[in-house]
Structure 1
């Protein structure tokens, strides 16, 4: 047996509350009819039968055969209370039955049980009319009018309840599917984040191995050679020490670059324009490469651009300048960030030696930039060739919606 569905939907919760209200109304009416109107009924039999009928609503079966037995038991119990127990307001019991079975069944089975319930009500009313045991006596001359009014009213009530239950169940199913989809998206996001973290760590590990490791190795070799020549060739030893000092400065700068790449908040509370300017100024100091910028209109757009997009743009500029300092042999860099309507375009161009875009460029960090741009549905374009420098263009559409 399956415990009753948790009514997270307010509409479904209302229907289940209505079921208990109707059962309580039938029980109270039965007591009042027996004590006040002196209508002959077996109150003990009826109250026990109502209790059993209420207990049936606590759990629903799963297997089709069990559902069939459950439905037959409901109908049999209502007929028993109506014919033998002469219970009042038996129509409400059929309404409760319709609510339950609309929740339990699906498709044609649901409509079939609803139709049988409506037919069963008419049978019970006919029997009560024949035995003159209805709670309200009907004038024989108005029997036809009573029948028409009763059928129309009861049919509309049952139809309304079925549509209401179907709507509640459809809404609940949509909520469950949405919850499953959200959980999957959350799992995918975690996986993507873990993958991005691993890729970023691998990239930084390659940078440390290629740049810092190379600088420290040269630094150590220069020191060893300087120690050996210190007595015999002091001028040569001094030159080696000066070169070692330069290698040490290069290694320190590489460490600073790697640390900046690890920061989760690279802007550090600064404005977008100020962060880009600081990045360019530090690039010029550490490399001696001239840089020209055109980023004036970022000041007016700073508040509209989301923090996520600002970090992405910052990282693209940072990665581009790092690649230029390591590989391009350039003497001039032009950086442009333009906001037009709801679009943002970043261009980083150098006059260096360029490279063959068809070759393996994983060491140039272009893959990382491409992944960052695609994460926000942007577009990255790289224009370069041997001896003609490199131009990187990143475009983002509808940036106010991020």
Structure 2
């Protein structure tokens, strides 16, 4: 597989091709006796132009203008030395290519216009005698009929048509180079944008990590901390009664403390389970949701009304997000809602996965829930999958969560 050429290399190779064609035709013109002598000065100027292409001034305007003037001088010098360069207009095209890389659009147009005027002046005025001599030798060598022999009118028409032709070539070349430069600028902007996106992604990742740490700290403080505090109080009460006339009552405090310890251990295990990297543990989504519902029923003694009906396979990234959403919703119901009835529905219709979780608990005001990292996490998981998340709750009316996630079409 051939490597792709960048715009800079492509323009450099184009310059070399134009310079090579000019040098080759100049030497050929000498070999077929169109030029009276070998054009040493022209070859030296062409080689110098080729070497100048390796380093273009792009910072200081004075150096850029001086660079262009030197190029014009190198193109003009062979004619001052009476060297014949049949394709010297290609050297003007090289100047246009390099000017597009050094200047902005107004500079492109000025240099292109200067090259065209230079060609017109050289073809119509400065090269009159040289052009007539070359045409005369060519006509004599190929022995054209008398009716199409050289005359002033034919030469003038030839020069004007050549000038128009060269002008159209310059316009095409200008459009081509500007398109290449625009493509290169687009690549550079895209590279900068990708770098910024990587930086933003790292910042978002750091922010998400910080929020997750804050959420874990809040859960430990609210759940495990509360349980351990209550356990400590029960143990203190039991110790005070252990060596008093009411020592028989100490047993009830120790039993309560033991129950609180068991509850704290369950909460720790639940937090660890929540932080697992693979939420599904390689199981299908239906089985994982069924396990969640069973654990919820064991922890709350609430038998939820559940419907899980999936008629197509769900991608792993969608399954993980759905599992976390349902897990977080059931965790919030367990800890905060004091509900007695819970409804869970998970179905798919027409390439859309629908989730509904409803309880009849005490509810809350979503606008005042400033520490709801769990709810925010559910919303963010849904948005990543281009889904829709909706939560409706009021004090005393329970909570309703609905989620819609688009599914990819089966091939």
TM-score in terms of structure 1 length: 0.86
Establish whether residue 395 from structure 1 lines up as the match of residue 404 from structure 2: yes
| Contact 1:34–1:40 under 8 Å retained in 2 | yes
| C-alpha distance after superposition, 1:11-35 (max 9, x if no partner) | 5533320211222333344445456
2:67, 2:133 → 1: CA distance?
29
1:56 is aligned to 2:52? yes
Q: Any conservation in 2 of the 1:33–1:39 contact (CA below 8 Å)?
A: yes
SS in 2 for 1:71: helix
Structure 1 Cα separation of the partners of residues 129 and 32 of structure 2:
24
CA shift for structure 1 position 85 = 5.4
Tell whether 2:298 aligns with 1:288.
no
Q: Does 1:164 align with 2:176?
A: yes
Larger mean CA deviation between 243-252 and 219-228 belongs to 219-228
Aligned residue for 1:353? Answer: 362
Could you say what secondary structure the match of 2:345 adopts? strand
Is the 2:34–2:134 Cα contact (8 Å) retained in structure 1?
Answer: no
Aligned runs of 1:1-400 on 2, under 5 Å?
10-34=6-30, 37=33, 39-41=35-37, 43-61=39-57, 62-84=59-81, 86-88=83-85, 89-126=87-124, 127-131=126-130, 132=132, 134=134, 137=138, 139-141=149-151, 142-230=154-242, 235-297=248-310, 300-303=311-314, 306-363=315-372, 365-396=374-405, 398-400=406-408
Deviation at 1:301, TM superposition (A): 3.1
TM-score (norm 2): 0.85
CA distance in structure 2 between the partners assigned to 1:57 and 1:230 by the alignment:
97
Please state whether the residue corresponding to 2:356 is helix, strand or coil. Answer: strand
Provide the secondary structure at the position in 2 that maps to 1:290.
coil
Q: Deviations over 1:221-279 (max 9, x none)?
A: 43444455456556433322322221122111211221122223212222222222222
CA displacement at 1:10 relative to structure 2: 4.0
Where does the alignment leave 5 or more consecutive residues of structure 1 unmatched? 1-6
Q: Distance in 2 between matches of 1:222 and 1:85?
A: 113
1:174 match: secondary structure: helix
SS of 2:127's partner is helix
Structure 1 residues 346, 51: CA separation in 2 closer, same or farther (over 3 Å shift)? same
Which whole-Å CA distance do the structure 2 matches of 1:382 and 1:45 have between them?
A: 84
Unaligned runs of 5+ in 2: 140-148
* In 2: Cα distance, 1:16 partner to 1:222 partner: 85
CA distance in 2, matches of 1:302, 1:235: 60
Shift of 1:326: 0.6
Deviation of 1:377 after TM superposition, in Å, equals: 4.3
The number of equivalent residue pairs is: 390
Contact 1:8 1:172 in 2 (8 A): no
Superposition deviation, residue 158 in structure 1:
1.9
- 1:189-212 CA distances to partner (integer Å, 9 max, x unpaired)? 221121111111101111011111
Match of 2:144 in 1: none
Give yes or no for contact 1:380–1:395 (8 Å, CA) kept in 2.
Answer: yes
